[in-house]
Chains A and B, each alone.
Chain A
Amino acid sequence: MKMLRKGYVAVVLVIPLGWIFVHQVWPSSHIWVPVLIQGDQTRGHGHSAILPPIYVITPTYQRPMQKAELTRLTNTFLHVANLHWIVVEDSQTKTPLVSRLLQESGLNHTHLNVMSPRNIDRRSIRGLSQRNLGLQWLRSTFNVRNPNPGVVYFADDDNTYSLELFDEMRWTQKVSVWPVAFAGSLRYESIKVNAKGKVYGWEVAYAPERPFGIDMAGFAVNLQLLLSKPNANFKLHPGLQEGSLLLDLVTLDDLEPKADNCTKVLVWHTRSQAPDLSGEARFKHSANLET
């Protein structure tokens, strides 16, 4: 009787050990496959259940270059795992060009539109209403009481983004920052980082007194932070739009420097030349191709 009991005890102990073994060891290699870099040849993009999603907000407006810009942006974003593209048109309606492009892109996307107020100088408010609408969509889609991993990035449609940039921003806790090439009429604008890895100032020539001397392409915000501050929005401040949002979210001390303590350039503030269309005035196309 005693022997039998010992046997039972031994087996009863062994079985849970087996479970613990299965639970701990096997999930580490086979079940979960993160996709960090695009490897396949299909038009799909990588999905990972582990990587925090990146929500990219891109304001866009109709002009001859638009389709080309959005096309090459698509080609870039297709490489980034768990990217959700929020495209906001400066338009009263969703245009067929952008609708079709997004549908055919293979990307996870949200298509929004809002017209910028016409009575204000276009240049000073470019993208303002559109970015705020993107923020509004995020706030109405995600419940702040849930855990919402993810980061939000404002990517204009004519800049150039390296793939490493998205790896750098993905794990942002509050607001992360990095250098931007060609911003503020410099080779690059950068961030002053001390020996302890803390941000203490800006390497900029344009308006150095700004509380946040950073270009739109030079920072990303943690999604939960944005959701927890429902009144943080972009405000009308020519040249200072970025700061108007960041002031509501963080202090200098909270900033997380990326790109090797802000010593590498991973994004370029490129601008495309307006194409010469002078020939159009004296020429009639027989067909109307979408360009």
Chain B
Amino acid sequence: MKMRLKLKSVFVLYFMVSLLGLIYALMQLGQRCDCTGHDIPKERVISRLRGELHRLQEQMRKSGEIQQPQKDPKSSLPTIFVITPTYARLVQKAELTRLSQTFLHVPQLHWIVVEDSNHKTPLVRDLLAKSGLTYTHLHVATAKERKLQEGDPNWLKPRGVEQRNEALHWLRQETHKQQGVVYFADDDNTYSLQLFEEMRNTQRVSVWPVGLVGGMKYEKPVVEGGKVVRFHTGWRPSRPFPMDMAGFAVSLKLVLANPDSWFDGMAPMGFLESSFLQGLVTMDQLEPKADDCSLVLVWHTRTEKPKMKREEALQAQGLGSDPHMEV
């Protein structure tokens, strides 16, 4: 009898301890695992990670196809339509890559990429498909006589005119009754994330400083009493809107309400922005952002053309790099 009792109590004790332990383990579910203490075999980790990666890549691919991954119908955030003209050159893929990495952080962003080309190139097509962004891929070739030739200075002919207009045309065809704002983002500039939140609630046209432009550390609208009264710029301040393309955003409503507002490729140098904005807004109506235009949130950076002298020398000998390797 004594023996049986002893065994029974041991059993009961063992059962209780196990039960408590099980409850503890169940409570640990959902907590972050401190797996450094565990000896998890590397192969198992690798295969799990591969599975996870594959799953996430599939998600991204699917969202790229549908082109509306972030468009939550219940989202009340106005969409930022970013229009980027682009053209094929050595640094194109690098520029678009780092741009897409910036844009991935911005919610409700729709990237409209317009190639200066008479067809959609595989490089841009694949980059956009893998980017994870909501995008529209357009193309229009600049007329030959309006194109910058090798050796022309940058300011000789305005760039991206036809491409920006093509994007405006698309917006006017495809978007209606949508809350949004339109921003012209060239592919070699640098954008902070704060900039996009500043522009999101633009009612008409909002403006802010731009760094490293016009021969100066920055250009900016001058704000007094919450209104723009003039522009701080090093060059031709008498222009109607002496600003860089990166220094303003236009509400989608205004773009759609003014179907005849376009960029004028024949405008004199430096007047491209004014040619578009003149029909849309007066200086008085501009909305200053970035803390009454006291913060630089965007920089007019430019990328050097990479030196290719050894590549050219090798190509002359028929020993150039593999053209199939996409750069």
A285 touching B232 in the complex, CB below 8 Å, given contacts A78-B105, A185-B307, A185-B309: yes
A49 touching B35 in the complex, CB below 8 Å, given contacts A36-B49, A181-B327, A187-B90: yes
Interface with B: A121-129, A240-248, A276-284, which one? A276-284
Q: Which residue of B lies closest to A179 (CB)?
A: B325
Q: Are A186 and B21 within 8 A (Cβ)?
A: no
Tell me the B19-65 residues at the A interface (CB within 8 Å): 21-22, 25, 28-36, 40, 45-46, 48-49, 52-53, 56, 60
Among A270, A279, A290, point to the contact of B94 (Cβ < 8 A).
Answer: A270
Q: Are A4 and B295 within 8 A (Cβ)?
A: no
Is B303 an interface residue, CB under 8 A from the partner? yes
Q: Are B28 and A31 within 8 A (Cβ)?
A: yes
Q: Are B14 and A12 within 8 A (Cβ)?
A: yes
Bound complex: CA A4 to CA B4 (Å): 9
Contact with A along B301-327 (1 / 0, CB 8 A): 111101111110110000011000111
Tell me the A50-78 residues at the B interface (CB within 8 Å): 50-51, 64-65, 67-69, 71-72, 75-76, 78
Tell me the A12-41 residues at the B interface (CB within 8 Å): 12, 15, 18-19, 22, 26-28, 30-34, 36-39, 41
Is A8 an interface residue, CB under 8 A from the partner? yes
Bound complex: CA A89 to CA B238 (Å): 41
Is B220 an interface residue, CB under 8 A from the partner? yes
Q: Are A272 and B235 within 8 A (Cβ)?
A: no
Among B46, B191, B217, B326, point to the contact of A285 (Cβ < 8 A).
Answer: B217
Q: Are B296 and A290 within 8 A (Cβ)?
A: yes
Contact with A along B59-94 (1 / 0, CB 8 A): 010000000000000000000000000000011011
Q: Which residues of A contact B31 (CB under 8 A)?
A: 31
Is B192 an interface residue, CB under 8 A from the partner? yes
Q: How many residues of A contact B (CB 8 A)?
A: 80
Q: Which residues of A contact B18 (CB under 8 A)?
A: 15, 18-19
Q: Which residues of B contact A186 (CB under 8 A)?
A: 308, 310-311, 314, 321
Interface SS of chain B: helix, strand, loop or mixed? mixed
Bound complex: CA A237 to CA B119 (Å): 47
Is B282 an interface residue, CB under 8 A from the partner? no
Q: Which residues of A contact B285 (CB under 8 A)?
A: none
Q: Are B212 and A68 within 8 A (Cβ)?
A: yes
Q: Which residues of A contact B311 (CB under 8 A)?
A: 185-187, 205
Is A138 an interface residue, CB under 8 A from the partner? no
Q: How many residues of B contact A (CB 8 A)?
A: 79
Query: Closest 6 interchain pairs by CB?
Result: A279-B215, A279-B234, A205-B310, A268-B94, A68-B299, A185-B310
Interface positions of B (Cβ within 8 A of A):
4, 7, 11, 14-15, 18, 21-22, 25, 28-36, 40, 45-46, 48-49, 52-53, 56, 60, 90-91, 93-95, 97-98, 101-102, 104-105, 107, 132, 190-193, 209, 211-218, 220, 232, 234-235, 294-296, 299-304, 306-311, 313-314, 320-321, 325-327
Sample 30 A-B pairs with CB under 8 A, ordered by A number.
A11-B15, A27-B33, A30-B30, A31-B30, A36-B56, A39-B56, A49-B35, A50-B40, A64-B212, A65-B301, A68-B190, A69-B190, A71-B299, A75-B193, A78-B105, A162-B97, A181-B327, A182-B306, A185-B307, A185-B308, A186-B314, A186-B321, A188-B321, A270-B91, A270-B94, A270-B304, A271-B303, A275-B302, A280-B217, A290-B296
Interface positions of A (Cβ within 8 A of B):
1, 4-5, 8, 11-12, 15, 18-19, 22, 26-28, 30-34, 36-39, 41, 43, 47, 49-51, 64-65, 67-69, 71-72, 75-76, 78-79, 160-163, 167, 171, 179, 181-182, 184-188, 190, 203, 205-206, 263-265, 268-273, 275-280, 282-283, 285-287, 289-291
